Structure 1
Amino acid sequence: MKVTVNKTKVIEMKHVELTYETDSRQVYALQNINLEIEEGSFVCVLGPSGCGKTSLLRIIAGFQQPTSGDVLLDGKSMSPKPDRHRGVVFQQHTLYPWLNIKENVEFGLKMRKVSAEERNQTVKHYLDMVGLSQFSQSAPYELSGGMKQRASIARVLANDPRIVLMDEPFGALDAITKEQMQENVRKIWKETHKTFFFITHDVEEALLLGTHIVVMSARPGRIIKEMHSPIPYEIEEGQSRKYRSSETFIDLREEIINLITH
């Protein structure tokens, strides 16, 4: 007999719509979005430019309120303001230039009045995880782009959020650094069992990272396809390249590209 396991839903979006006014017209950004994000999943959102991907992330983060519909966090109406339960990593790092890397990572903990001993343990743990222990006393300007993004991820994880939101975090990186960051974030996801919500334009990136892939239409943004993929679970550390040539990977890539372009 098959046993059904009910997974915890971290985020539920029900009939979410978003419209807003510009100087010249009204923009219908999102239309009837219904989405469930399960605990421990890695959700990747794809779609053409201007389809509302970032608007979707901003609503979940609490930066923007939907025009209509409901957004639930752990089954309860979500706070209309950002909080530590929804950690955000942007395309450009947001490290404070006047603080060193350790101070940046512990900033949220300090604001929450966490003890110095617990802060030190937490910061050490996450700097070890992202491979930046040797750079704890460095200033942000002394780090490369990829290292700054790793520090940004450590800062978000240190706050122990329910969901990690990432808005094209590797879009500004060169190809080699981008591949390394994909490896890093997949490893972090597997180690922490955190729930990730990741915006990307890169179909291959979505397939290498996403256990739950959401494809959106052109504006007004609607969800036109959801896919669940085992690929990120299967990829062994440092072995992602060989999956790009697999038949399953190629078929999924072509299906997604056809959905987006047509």
Structure 2
Amino acid sequence: MLTTNFLKTRTSTREFKESKVEESKIEKIYEYVTDIKAGLYEEDLFFEISKDGEGLYEKLNGKAGYKGVMIKAPIYVGLDVKNHNQKALVKGAYGLEELITKLSEIGLASCWISVADASEDDLNSAFLDSKGNIKSILAVGEALNEEVREHRFDDRKGINEFVFIDDLNHKASVEELEQRGMDDLFSYLRFAPSSYNSQPWRFVLVDNLVKLYLEDYKDESNLVDAGIVMYYFDQLTKDLSINSSWDVKPNLDGSKQVFIAQKEL
């Protein structure tokens, strides 16, 4: 599926079939995770896979998930970060979003699960092989309801609310983005998922660079938002021959907009 179509129809699955995932698909998950981890070049990043869906659900029910509502699934993938490495967290979120795309290609659905209210002990008991701290969880399985819907266009920010030219004071116009050949890119990028659909990301185009900031940074879920939108930026710019890598250097200094990463265009 084209990235543009995938973004417009991408939804989180909150109800999964209770049946076990086919062994061949489980093997694919391990294969995908291994390849994604290798491509991110981050020593403090790991992905922990649990096939004991029922057991993990029992351990985290009432603790993980929005207001303690845990999503029940046959498989979970934990985003595991050592040394509280913020760069690794951003890159890990990028990797898990790539995994979501690959899972959809083999008929598996997924849903991000917040762990903000779960204790470190609870998470370590759920993911016994954790090497650091579980920062987020991906629930994986076959969707109970496979209906595909397209997002409404009125539930996302306009381009000039999150794209800027030169600095954060100059909102980008559609005409300016058309001149750069990037109007379609950001039209689709606004469909990228974010926690509570807050769309905290802000892009600043400066000469041959794009800089990514987060506005009103709240917690580590926003770093996950950053990794996710960076992944879709890369996917949407493949046809523009933009193949540079993100230089990730989060600077959470308490500013209204905090710097996260940049890349060459």
With the length of structure 2 as denominator, give the TM-score of the two structures.
0.30
Bigger relative CO (Cα 8 Å, ≥ 6 apart): 1
